[in-house]
Amino acid sequence: MSEFGISRMAELDRISRAEDLKDPPIGVGVVRYQVICQGSAFVSLERVKEALSSVLRLGSWEAIEGKDPNMVLPRWFVDMCGEELSSEERIAWLEKWRKLSDAERTLAEDQRRWSVNDWLYWFEDEQRAWFWRRAQVLNENEYTVDIEVIDWPFPSGALRWLLVASGAKHVTEIGFV
């Protein structure tokens, strides 16, 4: 568990629920994302929950180190992820990213295929900045996800990649709710 977060077991319990929580949020509050899907919102949301649950059940980064990601994460998620970048490739991408406007950065992050290791890094206890609160399917192609955040702004790239890899066509941060 992160110093300011919730336990992995409590987060897994939240993922399996559909109802809104009555307990006050941790950190600075709850941020809502609107997700427009390429296909079924229900299927996309189930994929989000499956991948997130898989990584939360790992318990720690060390639990996956040296193992085949296909053995601990859903195959479809691993297939959506990109190749691991070399140090030089990583530095070049970051230098290019830093020159972009905020809107261009968001678009670049949404279009970039994260590697499995890049994504898993953000689930180390020391890196966790957001925690699942709830989600709701609104219609055939749209759902919302509510995330508790420890601080603002917070690193949302791993969340956005999870949503995109799971079938999101557009991910929009609505703001605090």
Identify the pLDDT of residue 1: 43
Residues 44 and 162: beta-carbon distance below 8 Å: no
Residues 61 and 124: beta-carbon distance below 8 Å: yes
Cα Rg of the chain, angstroms: 16
| Interatomic CA distance for residues 131 and 76, integer angstroms | 23
pLDDT tier, 5 (very low <50, low <70, confident <90, very high otherwise): confident
Task: Give the pLDDT confidence of 113-154 residue by residue, as tens digits.
Answer: 999 988 988 888 889 999 999 999 999 999 999 999 999 999
Task: Give the pLDDT confidence of 10-56 residue by residue, as tens digits.
Answer: 999 999 987 778 888 989 999 999 999 988 999 999 999 999 999 99
Residues 143 and 18: beta-carbon distance below 8 Å: no
Q: Where are the domains of the chain?
A: 8-176
Asked if pLDDT for residue 2 goes beyond 60, the answer is no
Determine the average pLDDT of the residues in 167-172.
94
